Structure 1
Amino acid sequence: MGKIKVGVIGCGSIARRRHLLEYEASDDAQIVAVVDIIENRAQEMADKYNAKAYTDYKDMLKNGGIDAVSVCLPNNLHAPVSIDALNAGMHVLCEKPMATSSEEAQNMVHAAEENNKVLMIAHNQRFVSSHQKAKKLLDSGELGKVYSFKTTFGHPGPESWSIDGRSSWFFDKEQAFIGALGDLGVHKSDLIRYLLGEVDEVGAFVETSAKENTEIDDNAVCILKMKSGVIGTLAASWSYVSGGDNSTLIYTEKAVLKLEADPDYPLVVHYNNGDIVKYELAKIQSNAEGGQTTTHVIEHFIHSIVHDTAPLITGDEGMKSLNVILAALQSNETKQFIQLKN
């Protein structure tokens, strides 16, 4: 099998800082096409990666010769573009949140099944070393019963991250559909499901308190009850003005696990007998310079295609993580706890 021929749809920041760089680093992938409605952005990336530039993704799909695509577009375009690519016979890696409704997500999953193609959602938290190590410790049973958790993802907002700054689609309700909760919170709903199993019930407060002239949420605090009965909180924010917080604390019978909460040690375990174990592990990916060099997302996606295996974050997994966030929105609107139908 030759190299997987890849097209990247959308040439904004996530494509430039993650997808294109990581495809280029892959021995098994070759970037052959890039798409952006702003022609010079597409051309700039085409020149850089020796690819063909398009301004309409449908032209790229029609021309063929592509095995897989990354969908790096505003949230409202994730589902329609992914479905078109799957129906055109391509494997799809879609950015998160995968869709703007459960119905859209289900249609994506169905399209992948119908066409027998890989659909993967770019939830990179599952590949972080501290998160994988914590999962092994929790699954081993040696920590006893899990009592509670706190998981947080916050930073100052997408203004400095997005290629379009404050005028970005991130702040446009029609294109984004959801703000910090979908941008950051969905990563944490995916992580907590990975670590502790399915979510059963959600309550939430979702606010716009830090950003002006937008209807998009920038602060959310959710209460989650897991199927196991474990309760905890999930916070997502674009208002942590002096940097970021990407931490998770898990409180168990025999220890407290602190993930990405210490500047030097990605995982610290405080045992109830007084012992403290500090794990030196690869650092988590961050938007700052000097962050972890790879998210492992592209590597895993390409591996799934080459070896014909299901990815760690299938469309179905992405949909379950999205449903937690959709339930949080519903809870905030109705002022009731929302039961999930997993």
Structure 2
Amino acid sequence: MIKVAVIGCGSIARHRHLPEYAANQDVEIAAVCDIVQERAEELGSIYDAMAYTDYQEMLEREEIEAVSVCLPNYLHAPVSIAALKSGKHVLCEKPMATSSEEAEEMIETAKNARKWLMIAHNQRFVPSHQKAQEMIANGDLGKIYSFRTAFGHGGPEGWSADGADSWFFKKDEAFIGAMGDLGVHKTDLLRFILGEDFSSVGAFIETSAKDHSTVDDTAVCVLRTQSGIIGTLAASWSYNAGEDNATVIFGEKATLRLEEDPENNLIIQYPNGDKAKFELGGIQTNEIGKQTSSGVIDSFISSLKADEEPVIPGEEGKKSLEVILAALEANETKRIVEIK
């Protein structure tokens, strides 16, 4: 059994990390930690785990092998680094850090500690996304011409443990809004599906829907890959009528429509008008009570059991983060920015 702890007992821990750890037969949830004592004690009681309000005390006292870092964005790097230095493997929520420098320090700390670091980009595990990646890698679409992707909903108020008072809306804790919450998922997804990195980005990023927010809530980016594929990415907390989590890939031989139809997760459209439709199992949703397994926890635990590098290591998380950082710069400078 792999003994794990979860640091941060907000919604992502309550609805995804902890239930998925509990469902994994190779895991024992040994401890939970949150600065809000009531949250820690409640979840500790549910999962028969020790409850802490100080993560450093927990790291020192508990004989655990791995931790999930489910904290506000500005704490991802320092807490992950502390856990790695204490000899724990780390699964960190996205975005992995608030700067390239922080991300690099996380990666180097993991290497020096000889521990695994994984970033929780769950969209790579969606069946339709994995099928699309496979088809593109096999050349089934021929040359890829363009893409468009979006991730939008009404905002974290209905998802976060603190509602409208959540850290998601506070720049000093979140660093970035919808782009960090949703946009980074899609930069990672596109890199995965297309099989290459982005080289440049232009962006419009605004705060237009949330009066109580000091971070962005709506963004549209234009992206170019290293091979010259161009497309758009939208991330927003202003989609009040319903969630949009769709991606379309336009290729020479076919167009792929992913998670656009509520029943058919993958639709293939051919130039002659033919279509093929597939029901592959739905994408993760932010609706409470409608959670399905993300695949992240099982993948993380499998890598630890095999002592193999996780499928989304820190280096991958850093590359996806750097697209978002470049988009911020593009918006501020009003120019196209080359990505590191």
Query: TM class by shorter-chain length?
Result: over 0.9
Tell me, yes or no, if the aligned pair for 2:246 and 2:260 is still in contact at 8 Å.
yes
CA distance in 2, matches of 1:175, 1:324: 20
- After superposition, the C-alpha distances for 1:172-222 in whole angstroms (9 at most, x for unaligned) are 110000000000000000000001110000110110000003221000000
Which of 154, 160, 163 does residue 161 from structure 2 map onto? 163
* Equivalent residue, structure 2, for 1:209: 208
Whole-angstrom distance in 2 between the partners of 1:94 and 1:108: 10
1:282–1:292 CA contact under 8 A, matched in 2:
no
1:189-208 → structure 2 map (5 Å cutoff): 189-196=187-194, 197-208=196-207
Q: Which letter does structure 2 place at the counterpart of 1:224?
A: L
Equivalence for 2:140: 142
**8 Å Cα contact 1:69-1:92 kept in structure 2:** yes
Task: Go from structure 1 to structure 2 and tell me whether the alpha carbon gap of 1:256 and 1:292 turns closer, same or farther (over 3 Å shift).
Answer: farther
CA distance in 2, matches of 1:144, 1:93: 36
Residue 258 of structure 2: aligned partner = 259
Which residue of the partner structure matches residue 220 of structure 1?
219
Percent identical: 61
- Helix, strand or coil at the partner of 1:159: helix
Q: Using the alignment, how far apart are the partners of 2:288 and 2:208 within structure 1?
A: 28
Which amino acid in structure 2 is aligned with residue 26 of structure 1? N
Q: Distance in 2 between matches of 1:215 and 1:44?
A: 31
1:290 Cα shift? Answer: 6.1
Residue matched to 2:53: 55
Match of residue 286 from structure 2: 287
Question: What SS does the corresponding residue of 1:263 show, helix, strand or coil?
Answer: coil
SS in 2 for 1:152: strand
One-letter code of the match for 2:173?
Q
Instruction: Give the partner amino acid of 2:116.
Output: V
Contact 1:250–1:256 (Cα < 8 Å) also in 2: yes
User: Does residue 186 of structure 1 match 2:184?
Assistant: yes
1:83 aligns with 2:81: yes
CA distance in 1, matches of 2:334, 2:223: 15
Partner of 2:25: 27
Deviation at 1:142, TM superposition (A): 2.1
Q: How far has the Cα of 1:289 moved from its partner? A: 5.0
CA distance in 2 between partners of 1:292 and 1:256 (Å): 29
State the 4+ residue runs in structure 1 displaced beyond 3 angstroms.
289-292
Counterparts of 2:284 and 2:169, CA distance in 1:
24
1:233 is paired with a residue of what secondary structure?
strand
The one-letter code of the counterpart of 1:332 is N
Residues 290 and 58 of structure 1, relative CA distance in 2, 3 Å threshold = closer
* 2:241 maps to amino acid: S
Between the aligned partners of 1:96 and 1:225, the Cα distance in structure 2 is: 22
Matched residue, 2:90: 92
Structure 2 counterpart of 1:188, one-letter code? K
1:273 is paired with a residue whose SS is coil
Please state whether the residue corresponding to 2:158 is helix, strand or coil.
coil
Which amino acid in the other structure matches residue 234 of structure 1?
A: L
Matched ranges for 1:232-271 at <5 A: 232-271=231-270
CA distance in 1, matches of 2:237, 2:162: 16
**Separation in structure 2 between the aligned mates of residue 130 and residue 290 of structure 1, nearest angstrom:** 22
Preserved contact between residue 11 and residue 45 of structure 1 (Cα < 8 Å): yes
Q: Which of 101, 106, 109 pairs up with 1:108?
A: 106
Q: Is the 8 A contact 1:284 1:291 kept in 2?
A: no
- Is the 1:9–1:70 contact (alpha carbons within 8 Å) kept by the matching residues of 2? yes
Is 2:159 the partner of 1:177? no
| Cα displacement string for residues 278-318 of structure 1 (whole angstroms, at most 9, x for unaligned residues) | 01101111122564520010000000000011111100000
The residue aligned with 2:331 is 332
Deviation, structure 1 residue 64: 3.5
Task: Return the offset for 1:100.
Answer: 0.3
Letter in 1 for 2:150: T
Q: How many residues align?
A: 339
Structure 1 gap segments, 5+ residues each: none
Aligned to 2:319: 320
TM-score (norm 1): 0.98
Q: For 2:24 and 2:298, locate their aligned partners in 1 and report how far apart those are by CA, in whole Å.
A: 7
Distance 1:135 1:258 in 2: 13
For the residues of structure 2 that align with 1:260 and 1:324, how far apart are their CA atoms?
A: 23
Counterpart AA for 2:25: D
SS of aligned partner of 1:30 = strand
RMSD: 0.8
Contact 2:159 2:287 (8 Å CA) reproduced: no
